[in-house]
Amino acid sequence: MNLEELVKRAKEGDQEALVQLVLAKKEELYKLAYVYLGNNEDVLDAMEDMIVLLFENIRRLKNEASFYSWSKTILVNCCHSALRKQKKVIAMEKVPEGSYLDVFAEKEEQIALRKHWAKLSEKQREVLKLRFYLDLDYESMARILNIPLGTVKSRIHSGLKVLQRSIGGEWVEQI
Amino acid sequence: MNKFEDVFEQGRAEIERLSVPDELEARLRSALANRRVPRRRLQQWKLRIAVAFIAFSLIAYNYDALAYYGKQFLGYDQIMNGTLKQLNELGKGQLIGKSYSFKNGFVLTVDGVMLDSNQLLLFSTLKDPAGKIDQGDMMPRMIIKGLTGEYMENNSTGEISADKTEIKSVTSFAPPKFFEKNLTLTVSIMDKGTMDTGNISFTLNRNTAMGYTLKKNINQIFKVDGTKLHIDSILASPTKTVINGSVMNILELAEAKLSGEERLVHISPDSFDLRLYANDKELAKQGGGMGTNLQGITFNEDYDALPPNLQKLEIKLVSLRAEHQVNQSFTLKPGLNNPSLSILGQTIEIKKVYPSDGETCITLSSEDGVVLTKVYLLIDGTRVSLNNTQEDHYDKIAEGKSGKIIHTRTLHFPGTGQNLMLDIQRMTYVKTYNETVNIPVS
């Protein structure tokens, strides 16, 4: 069954069709959410939220062919709200294994490179991750994030500039 | 290697290695289960007329009852505990009813405040007529400004209405000083990356304030495992009871630092289980906090309000979780038959040791609360640090009258090899004390 037929059936309330649609691109969607959330449990939660929103709103989707970019936008929004919630909730009751102070210091050394990331704004990090972790092109990013193409370009450009200044290495224009 | 590329390479490699877990399909299906196709909305004008009609008929028939409820905060039933509900029914709050409209259409209304010696409770409603309240910034940041200073938000409880048009919340602030009368609530929400801030001013009516019911210095010490837990004072008010204490005062702190002791760093607010009994009945715990200041490491534990006819009041230290040096190594064999480890009186069962995807996995179980906080694996003589812990699960086991919780999990270490040695340097566990301090109430 092709994409448009499946979307049409999903619009009529066929849950199976919707699940099939999501599963067909599960890898792409899963990795997209992982870029934001960084762990399996949160990604699965976000994808659950996404499919519920898809189901409730699919009748409003005008163009069947744009189903996937529309669902990616929704997934990104789910990730954003999950991150917002994480900021507010700090669980105190669980001390994870290997949480002694020295151990943290060791891990920090291993990820020293990430300190450069910290200098970027959240929005710059978002586009840079999508661009370089997932190899998305500018147009798809603009569609998924619902922002103009120019904004995507300028965020990437300014983000790379900040990184360049932070690392002080050679400036590689082609990426 | 070019460092610039490194920044991306790590993350990119991590993403590329990912595989979608099989449970995804089941999770998606279960998320959809019980979901129906949403009904088309009733036309707005029909709905409005229906609401107006119902409201009119309800008000007309219940006018007396409404006059009675006029002094109470309505719609907060779900988020108020029993004590607050009673106080609300007695009309102990001060009604305010002032609003601020944010640029994104959200409206915050301060319905009222309730004040006693322990806290100022602010009852507020955040509304979004568009019904998308859960997609915006749901928790406005609140600060109350008075004559001399600012009173910060301590904690807050809220509930989203089923139609997602409003959130009712109760927010607790430190009580304003006795001379404060005119207060300004500053609220701000994030919207599309910018902060929208507004002010709501109100005048405190001290006549509705409730003061306190019991205020006492206690100055008792629980001596536990080299650590001293000071219970300094208790302040009970109609909305809650607060016990103030310190883990180590500043002198002990200095002493411990000089002697190179490090244990005190590892006491967190959830490390100890402190309970309050009034007339031999346990009071529900509401929260707590911990901070470091010139007096040392201080903490406060919040409980429900005291009962009216108080005869006996006791504080009980049930247990304390602390961190301990271990520095022991244990040889492990791949497979299922490793003997269980006995460390500082705690038993850790090694269920399984196996290689998987280039990692060495160790499944072990222990009583809940036992945590290996500094652990390494020696693989053929090379020391590697813990990558992550997965597949946590908890089992309740009945043991005579009481039960205990067994926590099973799998530790993943990078790399594989033949000679494995688990190097446990530090661990925390919970020790039970059950010591009681009696507080004279007369």
CB-CB neighbours of A109 under 10 Å:
7
Q: Looking at residues B209-235, what average pLDDT do you find? A: 84
Which of A19, A88, A134 lies nearest to residue B29, judging by beta carbons?
A19
pLDDT at A97: 65
| Residue B435 belongs to a domain | no
Residue type, A138: Y
pLDDT at B290: 82
**Token digits for A87?**
């900021």
| Residue B318 belongs to a domain | no
A45 confidence band (pLDDT: 50, 70, 90): very high
Interface test mutation site (partner A, options B22, B32, B428, max chain A beta carbons within 10 A): B32
Q: Cβ contacts (< 8 Å) between A88 and chain B: which residues?
A: 139
pLDDT in tens, B65-89: 655 555 677 778 778 887 888 888 7
Residue type, B320: L
DSSP characters for B214-237?
EEEEEEEEEEETTEEEEEEEEEE-
One domain, residues A71 and A141: no
Domain final residue pick, B186, B208, B230: B208
Which CATH number covers residue B283?
A: 2.60.40.1640
A89 confidence band (pLDDT: 50, 70, 90): low
Q: Hey, is the C-beta of A91 within 8 angstroms of any chain B C-beta?
A: no
Residue type, A24: A
Q: How far is CA B93 from CA A2, B33, B71, in A?
A: 62, 43, 8
Query: Residues 74 to 133 of B: which have CB under 8 A from any A CB?
Result: none
pLDDT at A154: 92
pLDDT over 90, % of chain B: 14
**Token digits for B389?**
């812990």
Q: How many CA atoms lie within 13 A of A147 on its CB side?
A: 15
B63 confidence band (pLDDT: 50, 70, 90): low
Looking at the complex, report in whole angstroms how far the Cα of residue A44 sits from the nearest Cα belonging to chain B. 7
pLDDT at B264: 46
CB contact under 8 Å between A99 and B373, yes or no, is yes
Sheet with B341-343: list strands edge to edge: B341-343, B346-356, B359-367, B402-414, B388-399
One domain, residues B226 and B305: yes
pLDDT in tens, A122-174: 888 888 888 888 888 898 889 888 899 999 999 999 988 888 777 665 544 44
One domain, residues A25 and A70: yes
| Residue A132 belongs to a domain | yes
One domain, residues A71 and A143: no
Q: Which of B63, B218, B57, B187 is nearest to B122 (CA)?
A: B187
pLDDT of A90 > 90? The answer is: no
Q: How far is CA B397 from CA A155, B51, B364, B394, B400, in A?
A: 55, 53, 16, 10, 10
Asked if residues A107 and A97 have their Cβ atoms less than 8 Å apart, the reply is no
| Residue A119 belongs to a domain | yes
Q: What is the CA radius of gyration of chain A?
A: 19
Looking at the complex, report in whole angstroms how far the Cα of residue B293 sits from the nearest Cα belonging to chain A. 21
Q: Which single residue is written with the structure tokens 């009604």?
A: B95
Q: Residue A13 belongs to what domain range?
A: 3-88
CB-CB neighbours of B377 under 10 Å:
25
One domain, residues B261 and B375: no
> Residue-wise over A11-38: b if at least 16 C-beta within 10 A, else e?
beeebebbbebbeeeeebbbbbbbbbbe
One domain, residues B303 and B328: no
Q: Cβ contacts (< 8 Å) between A55 and chain B: which residues?
A: 32, 35
| Residue B103 belongs to a domain | yes
The Cα B407–Cα A41 span in angstroms is 19
Q: How far is CA A59 from CA A8, A11, A64, A143, in A?
A: 9, 5, 10, 19
Asked if residues A64 and A8 have their Cβ atoms less than 8 Å apart, the reply is yes
Domain final residue pick, A88, A123, A151: A88
The Cα B6–Cα A160 span in angstroms is 13
**Token digits for A151?**
């904004």
pLDDT at B54: 84
| Residue A158 belongs to a domain | yes
One domain, residues A82 and A127: no
The Cα A28–Cα B73 span in angstroms is 49
Q: Which of B283, B267, B268, B292 is nearest to B316 (CA)?
A: B283
The Cα B344–Cα A15 span in angstroms is 55
Global pTM reads 0.53
The Cα B15–Cα B421 span in angstroms is 31
pLDDT at A103: 61
Predicted complex ipTM? 0.74
Which CATH number covers residue A129?
A: 1.10.10.10
pLDDT over 70, % of chain B: 89
The number of domains in chain A is 2
The number of domains in chain B is 3
One domain, residues A13 and A60: yes
| Residue A161 belongs to a domain | yes
Please tell me whether residue B244 adopts helix, strand or coil conformation: strand
The Cα A131–Cα A129 span in angstroms is 5
Domain final residue pick, B172, B189, B208: B208
Helices A40-57/A26-37 angle, 10° precision: 120
One domain, residues A84 and A119: no
pLDDT in tens, B148-160: 888 888 888 888 8
| Residue B5 belongs to a domain | no
B242 confidence band (pLDDT: 50, 70, 90): very high
pLDDT of A46 > 90? The answer is: yes
| Residue A68 belongs to a domain | yes
Domain final residue pick, B311, B344, B367: B311
CB-CB neighbours of A76 under 10 Å:
21
| Residue B304 belongs to a domain | yes
The Cα B3–Cα A170 span in angstroms is 9
One domain, residues A40 and A82: yes
Looking at the complex, report in whole angstroms how far the Cα of residue B29 sits from the nearest Cα belonging to chain A. 7
One domain, residues B116 and B231: no
B64 confidence band (pLDDT: 50, 70, 90): low
One domain, residues A26 and A83: yes
C-alpha torsion sign, points B215, B219, B223, B226: positive
Checking DSSP bridges between strand B296-303 and strand B241-249, what pairing results, if any? antiparallel
| Residue B319 belongs to a domain | no
CB contact under 8 Å between A98 and B374, yes or no, is yes
One domain, residues B103 and B178: yes
A37 confidence band (pLDDT: 50, 70, 90): confident
With 0-12 / 13-18 / 19 or more C-beta atoms within 10 angstroms meaning exposed / middle / buried, residue B397 is exposed
Q: How far is CA B180 from CA B46, B105, B141, B201, B236, in A?
A: 48, 32, 21, 13, 21
The conformation of residue B184, written as its DSSP 8-state character, comes to E
pLDDT of A75 > 90? The answer is: yes
One domain, residues B76 and B203: yes
Q: Residue B136 belongs to what domain range?
A: 71-208
Q: What is the CA radius of gyration of chain B?
A: 28
Q: Hey, is the C-beta of A61 within 8 angstroms of any chain B C-beta?
A: no
Question: CB neighbours of B410 closer than 8 A, spacing ≥ 6?
Answer: B361, B362, B363, B364, B389, B390, B391
Output the average pLDDT for chain A: 81
| Residue A107 belongs to a domain | no
Contacts within 8 Å (CB) and 24+ apart, B14-20 = B15/A31, B15/A34, B15/A35, B15/A133, B15/A134, B18/A30, B18/A31, B18/A34, B20/A26, B20/A27, B20/A30
One domain, residues B136 and B219: no
| Residue B40 belongs to a domain | no
Q: How far is CA A152 from CA A116, B226, B241, in A?
A: 20, 58, 53
Q: Cβ contacts (< 8 Å) between A103 and chain B: which residues?
A: 373-374, 385-386
The Cα A154–Cα A161 span in angstroms is 10
Please tell me whether residue B101 adopts helix, strand or coil conformation: strand
Looking at the complex, report in whole angstroms how far the Cα of residue A3 sits from the nearest Cα belonging to chain B. 19
Which of A52, A132, A170 lies nearest to residue B12, judging by beta carbons?
A132
B374 confidence band (pLDDT: 50, 70, 90): confident
B1 confidence band (pLDDT: 50, 70, 90): very low
Q: Which single residue is written with the structure tokens 């301060």?
A: B110
Which CATH number covers residue A56?
A: 1.10.1740.10
Q: Hey, is the C-beta of A161 within 8 angstroms of any chain B C-beta?
A: no
One domain, residues A79 and A132: no
Q: What is the largest CA-CA distance in chain A?
A: 57
pLDDT in tens, B153-208: 888 888 888 888 889 989 999 888 888 888 999 998 888 778 889 899 998 888 87
| Residue A39 belongs to a domain | yes
Checking DSSP bridges between strand B313-332 and strand B272-278, what pairing results, if any? antiparallel
Asked if residues B365 and B351 have their Cβ atoms less than 8 Å apart, the reply is yes
pLDDT in tens, B313-340: 999 988 888 777 888 999 988 888 888 8
Find which of B2-16, B232-246, B389-403 is predicted with most confidence, using mean pLDDT. Answer: B232-246
Q: At B438, which helix (H) or strand (E)?
A: strand B420-439
Asked if residues B353 and B338 have their Cβ atoms less than 8 Å apart, the reply is yes
A120 confidence band (pLDDT: 50, 70, 90): confident
Asked if residues B409 and B368 have their Cβ atoms less than 8 Å apart, the reply is no
Domain final residue pick, A72, A88, A104: A88
One domain, residues A78 and A128: no
Q: How far apart are the first and last CA of chain A?
A: 38
Q: Hey, is the C-beta of A19 within 8 angstroms of any chain B C-beta?
A: yes
